Copies of this chain bind each other. A is one copy, B any other.
Amino acid sequence: MKASDRATLGRTPMFRDVPPEICDRLAIGAFVQTLPKGALLFEQGGEAEFLHVLLEGRCGLVGARSDGEECVVEIMHAGSAFILPAILLEAPYLMSARVLETSRIAMIPAGPLRRALDQEPHLMRAAAFDLARYWRILVQQIKDLKLRSAHERVAAHLSTMCRQTAAGPAVLNLDQEFRSIAAKLGMTPESWSRSIRQLETVGVRSAGRRIEIEDVARLRAFAGVDGLQ
């Protein structure tokens, strides 16, 4: 593992508060993979052999049915560690992971990680906090699916995309494929397209990947955002 990768790892939410010497120890046993778009990182039902830390790029966690139907459960961005629960519980993966755009991924072997977790309270603490953060993200997503319409989910997504802006105008440059965003939001690309259209009524103007928002507060109000996310 290169020094620059080691540094990136140390800035990750999961490892940020872990003493450097523990990180170093884990980094020694780890390696970094660069994978192209479309690569399958691991498969639902498989044994968890590595903690994956996304240094750069984007990956999708997708659930599959027995009949081959798939859905995107979550999209991981640079800095995210997955899939810790499977490692802790020594349980098979609940989802597959697919690379959405060329990614650099640190692979930390499960065995040494489990041992380090048991020996280093700091690391276990970091793991617990990381899990707690993800728990909230998942809960938020369930709330989204259960009590927001597709239009509202799109509005909520856009407004979290510009979370630094409290109110007033904003401009977004969406770099993800629309199909991935749509899948994450639990809708088809067609519906995403129509929703973007629909949002013109609350001051959202779109031109390709560039999206102009007249007033973020207005968009938030439409989405029914509760300030908890």
Chain A residues in the interface with B (C-beta under 8 A): 44-45, 63-67, 69-71, 73, 84-86, 88-89, 91-92, 94-95, 117-118, 121, 124-125, 127-129, 131-136, 138-143, 145-148, 186, 224-228
Chain B hits for A225, CB < 8 A: 66
Chain B hits for A86, CB < 8 A: 136
Q: A124 touches which one: B125, B133, B146 (CB < 8 A)?
A: B125
- Quick check: B228 and A142 within 8 Å, CB to CB? no
Secondary structure at the A interface, as helix, strand, loop or mixed, is helix
Jot down 29 A-B pairs with beta carbons below 8 A, ordered by A.
A44-B226, A45-B228, A63-B139, A63-B142, A63-B143, A63-B146, A63-B147, A64-B226, A65-B147, A65-B148, A65-B226, A66-B226, A69-B147, A71-B146, A73-B142, A73-B146, A85-B132, A85-B135, A86-B136, A89-B132, A89-B133, A89-B136, A92-B228, A118-B125, A131-B131, A135-B138, A142-B142, A142-B145, A146-B186
